[in-house]
Amino acid sequence: MEAVLRPRILGILNVTPDSFSDGGQLPSIEDAVGRAHRFAREGADAIDIGGESTRPGSRPVSLETELKRVVPILDALADFPLPISIDTRRAAVAAAAAERGATILNDTAALRDDPEIATVASAHQMDVVLMHRSGTPETMQIDPRYDDVISEVRFFFEERIEAAIGAGIAIDRILLDPGLGFGKRKEDNYELVNRCQELRIEGTRLLVGASRKSFLEPFDGRDPEQRLPGSLAFVARCRRLGVDWVRVHDVADTVRFLDTLEAIDEPASVTGGVV
């Protein structure tokens, strides 16, 4: 049987009061640091720290607010055993994070909102996630439309890769994120995952984040924390299609789910236990 790539897991650590699923759940530095270490124990491959919500309808926060949210946590994670990603659109936040050990920049604006952020990423040799987003967080879900979502997202990636390389970011440091839920209709999200291999550009990696998002509502109810089955269905499809990274809230459940899929593929590797 042909081997199936196991996607790496990026655990979501939002230190915001208004993120769509986990906003306000980490009110203190101790809470955030505790969750980061829990993710490490559960099998995450990296964690993604965000101090500004970019959910649909969100409004930007000040630079000072974003720094105040993330810098103390980064300081407290100075000896953290996993790679740290900073989820930001601002060069100053990316620089502060890189100086404190962050090695990944996850930019939902794909280096467009702050002209200096690409320079920061290049100078610190950070891996960079370029996410497709149509419009701004405030407006992106107001009647989004595409003639051909696959070709339009791929064209966007080609243009942003060119800009990143022009700023000195090596192509093998670039990850492409189709931005599910960021200026997309429900059907766009499903098509982007089903055809994500068509978004691959040589030298780059693919990252997909479907965890708990609203297009899962028909299957998992209205509470984001109840959308695990739908989230895992997207993880399964990503695994089948060879996606390199999945960004998730539920690290332990995702790890166990992937372990089970691998055991099904390779039953001889499973030992012990009789039912």
Q: What residues are labeled active site?
A: 213, 247
CB 96 within 8 A of CB 73: no
Ordered alpha helix ranges (H), the chain: 29-42, 63-76, 91-99, 117-123, 149-166, 186-194, 217-220, 228-240, 251-265
The total number of residues written for the chain in this structure: 275
∠ CA 106-210-248, nearest 5°, is 65
**Among residues 203, 180, 201, which one has the least CA distance to residue 190?**
180
**Among residues 179, 105, 95, 194, which one has the least CA distance to residue 144?**
179
* Enclosing H/E stretch for 113: none
Please state, as a whole number, how many other Cβ atoms lie within 10 Å of the Cβ of residue 243. Answer: 24
**Sign, Cα dihedral of 225, 231, 235, 238:** negative
CB 22 within 8 A of CB 14: yes
Query: Which structure tokens are listed for 106?
Result: 């996850």
CB 74 within 8 A of CB 96: yes
DSSP assignment of 191-215 equals HHHHTGGGG--TT-EEEE--TT-GG
Burial 112-130 (b: 16+ CB within 10 A, else e): ebbeebbbbbbeeebbbbb
